[in-house]
Structure 1
Amino acid sequence: MIKVSVLYPNSENATFDMDYYRATHLPLVAELVGKALVSAHADLGLAGGAPGQSATYIAMGHLVFESVESFQQAFGPHQEVILADLVNFTNTQPSVQISEIKQ
């Protein structure tokens, strides 16, 4: 299993609409990638590790797939539509990391 993490960096001017992300963006992604998606969830950044420190990321989205290949096959054809929706919930430029889930 792999996890695709989309990390939205925090800054003084960063905006993120978590309601839109959860109610519209994640369901859009799920519909487009179909059964290849095992699970999805979102995290809202609250704070950094030190008292009073801001969160490094304003939000994170996590998508779980069986393999990198299943992610690429499911996501690739819909990448343009999914990325075009970013302007509807954030003004940040996210980073993506693909990780192998170890249990």
Structure 2
Amino acid sequence: MTVSLQIIYPASADATFDYDYYEETHLPLVEEHLGELMETVEASRGIASGPDMPPAYLLIATITFPDMETLDRAMGEKSGPVIDDVANFTNVQPQILVGQVLMS
């Protein structure tokens, strides 16, 4: 069963997010440390939450893994440098959602 890890960065009035750093430095770091375990990685920058509505989320990243065991391994032994890097591009505490992929 393919599982997904979604990292969700909520928007707020005082939120900061360096998208260039995220794309040029953080995503390659994710690939370096988790690449052998991941199936896919995708990041979407929030642009709106509806007509004439600002985005509720700055960014949502989705990483898929072949199974829960692989996700657990990635989060256990491999994720330290990736998690430590978050403070370099945002002051937002991300939310996490682990899910079962129903369709891809």
Query: Is TM-score (shorter-chain normalized) higher than 0.5?
Result: yes
Report matched runs for 1:72-83 at 5 Å.
Answer: 72-83=72-83
The one-letter amino acid paired with 2:53 is Q
Q: SS at the partner of 1:84?
A: helix
Q: Is 1:97 aligned to 2:97, yes or no?
A: yes
1:86 Cα offset (Å): 0.6
Q: Residue by residue, what CA displacement relative to the aligned partner does 1:33-63 show, whole Å, maximum 9, x if unpaired?
A: 23111111111011112x3222111111111
Q: Is 1:45 aligned to 2:46, yes or no?
A: yes
Counterparts of 1:77 and 1:17, CA distance in 2: 26
Which shows bigger deviation, 29-38 or 84-93?
29-38
Instruction: Tell me which residue corresponds to 1:18.
Output: 19
Let me know the Cα RMSD of the aligned residues: 1.3
Instruction: Tell me which residue corresponds to 1:61.
Output: 61
Counterparts of 1:58 and 1:34, CA distance in 2: 24
Question: Percent same amino acid at aligned positions?
Answer: 34
Counterparts of 2:85 and 2:15, CA distance in 1: 17
Q: SS at the partner of 2:97?
A: strand
Gaps of 5+ in 1: none
Instruction: Give 1 or 2: higher helix fraction.
Output: 1
